[in-house]
Amino acid sequence: MMQYETLSLENRGDSVLVVRLNRPEVLNALNTQMGRDQLDLWTRLSAEPGNLRCVVLTGAGRAFCAGGDLKERNGMTQEQWQAQHEVFERAYVALVECTVPVIAAVNGHAFGGGLEIALCCDFIYTVPGARLALSETSLGIMPGAMGTQNLPRAVGERRAKELILTAAPFSAAEALEWGLANRICEPEKLLDEALATAQSIAQNGPLAVRQAKKSIHYGLQMDLATGYRFEIEAYNRLVDTDDRREGVKAFNEKRKPDFKGS
């Protein structure tokens, strides 16, 4: 188990990991160290997932993430700001490209870079009282952690423009209505429901899940025909695997498959 200054990790069985953004005293605001910790974590999980098959990402305390730590940023030179942001950029890309599925369990408010973290996950569960916003334009900057890319893909171009240009917060109910959130859960049930979904994912073939995730993510950046060709390439990589043979054998033997990730 890796140890991080700003993240806490908890194994749930052999195949599911709970990751908590762990700066509750500042509503899990994103500082340089949290950027470094996330970059290391998501890179490690992609390179060496081992038995891990799904991650649930949530926040410690009463918020998911309040966004960038503006107290740390206060007084930064341009060079310092851009050096910090380079760490953030690499961390967000590592999360988007993490081969293991990541479910965001947004347990409270998610603003600016905090919402962008959630948007980089594969899908989002949240709670009724959560408030969400890409608030950067109110600070004289703009989303710089894939917010202008991921939000339009979730809610559509026109809705995203309205939300980003006004910097206005919106509710969990609106997030669900617009397609940004998949589910609203009662606070005491949020983690359990996210974990139940993670377990459902974990029981499927891990190679198949990773290839399907990759096909969806990259296929959406292509035209339909090219995306389909990418899908077939991803599919063909699964045909000559022990997991594929085990899945078919288990089906015919009317038993649960024992996938090994090979």
Judge whether residue 2 has pLDDT over 90: no
Q: What is the pLDDT of residues 43-89, one digit of tens each?
A: 999 999 999 999 999 999 999 999 999 999 999 999 999 999 999 99
Q: What is the mean pLDDT of residues 217-233?
A: 96
Residues 11 and 65 occupy one common structural domain: yes
Residues 187 and 212 occupy one common structural domain: no
178: in domain: yes
For residue 121, the surrounding DSSP H or E stretch is none
Residues 223 and 105 occupy one common structural domain: no
Residues 232 and 162 occupy one common structural domain: no
Judge whether residue 1 has pLDDT over 80: no
Judge whether residue 93 has pLDDT over 90: yes
257: in domain: no
Query: Which range marks the domain in which residue 92 is found?
Result: 7-202
Distance of alpha carbon 53 from alpha carbon 209, whole angstroms: 9
Please provide residue 16's backbone torsions phi and psi, each rounded to the nearest 5 degrees. -125, 135
Residues 177 and 213 occupy one common structural domain: no
Q: What is the mean pLDDT of residues 226-247?
A: 96
At which residue do the structure tokens 């949290």 appear?
A: 34
Q: What is the pLDDT of residues 159-207, one digit of tens each?
A: 999 999 999 999 999 999 999 999 999 999 999 999 999 999 999 999 9
Q: What is the mean pLDDT of residues 232-260?
A: 95
CB atoms inside a 10 Å sphere around CB 171: 15
Residue 223 belongs to a domain with what CATH number? 1.10.12.10
Q: What is the pLDDT of residues 120-165, one digit of tens each?
A: 999 999 999 999 999 999 999 999 999 999 999 999 999 999 999 9
Distance of alpha carbon 256 from alpha carbon 246, whole angstroms: 10
Number of structural domains the chain divides into: 2
